[in-house]
């Protein structure tokens, strides 16, 4: 199955779609969201504003503008509240929604960051397990896609390598 983890700044990847770890207002922000908006240019924020937000656990598609990627899929991960507020299901929903949008757009390759594991504080090991399991299930159900997990640091990469080897 074409599933891999690499250490990379997601904004540099020439795939059909990169996924953003956005907020429900789609207003831009820090972390990977800030990096994507800086690299894509101001047209991205204008396109996001026109979408009028996105519920947690879902995703929305825009063009990639100045990015090497054709599209940005803005997924809104849950804020970690201890695990009893449906966080795992909401995080899985982000991965499923992003893959569905990729299919609808006719895309084949996609790169994901570790959604919710930064300022939203989702435990990175659990998040990696959910990401890999959810993507594997979705590909088994809906057909192959070329999926890259873009890990910003070595610790994140080793979590994904462990999940992908399991």
State the residues that interact with ligand AR6 by CB under 6 A.
Answer: 9-11, 21-23, 29-33, 35, 77, 113-120, 150, 152, 156
33 catalytic residue (yes or no): yes
Tokens read off for 135: 């993507």
Q: Which is nearer to ligand AR6, 2 or 123 (CB)?
A: 123
Tokens read off for 16: 């059909």
Q: Which is nearer to ligand AR6, 40 or 150 (CB)?
A: 150
Q: How far is the CB of 131 from ligand AR6 (least distance, A)?
A: 11
From the candidates 9, 16, 33, 125, which is the catalytic residue? 33
CB 24 within 8 A of CB 39: no
Between CA 9 and CA 162 the distance in angstroms is 20
Report which secondary-structure segment, H or E, holds 109: strand 109-112
3-state secondary structure string across 22-55: ECCCCCCCCHHHHHHHHHHCCHHHHHHHHHCCCC
Q: Which is nearer to ligand AR6, 9 or 144 (CB)?
A: 9
Q: How far is the CB of 79 from ligand AR6 (least distance, A)?
A: 8
Q: Using only C-alpha atoms, what is the Rg of the chain?
A: 14
Q: How far is the CB of 61 from ligand AR6 (least distance, A)?
A: 17
Q: How far is the CB of 75 from ligand AR6 (least distance, A)?
A: 8
Q: Which is nearer to ligand AR6, 95 or 152 (CB)?
A: 152
Between CA 162 and CA 129 the distance in angstroms is 9
Catalytic residue positions?
Answer: 33
């Amino acid at each position: 199955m074409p599933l891999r983890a690499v250490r990379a700044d997601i904004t540099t990847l020439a795939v059909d779609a990169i996924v953003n770890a956005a907020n429900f207002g789609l207003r831009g922000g820090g972390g990977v969201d800030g990096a994507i908006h800086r690299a894509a240019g101001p047209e991205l924020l204008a396109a996001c504003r026109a979408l009028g937000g996105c519920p947690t656990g879902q995703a929305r598609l825009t063009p990639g503008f100045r990015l090497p990627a054709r599209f940005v899929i803005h997924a809104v991960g849950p804020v970690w509240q201890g695990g009893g507020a449906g966080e795992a299901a909401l995080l899985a929903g982000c991965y499923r929604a992003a893959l569905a949008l990729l299919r609808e757009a006719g895309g084949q390759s996609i790169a994901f960051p570790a959604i919710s594991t930064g300022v939203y504080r989702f435990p990175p090991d659990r998040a990696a397990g959910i990401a890999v399991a959810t993507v594997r299930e979705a590909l088994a159900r809906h057909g192959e896609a070329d999926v890259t997990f873009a890990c910003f640091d070595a610790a994140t990469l080793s979590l994904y390598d462990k999940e992908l080897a399991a």
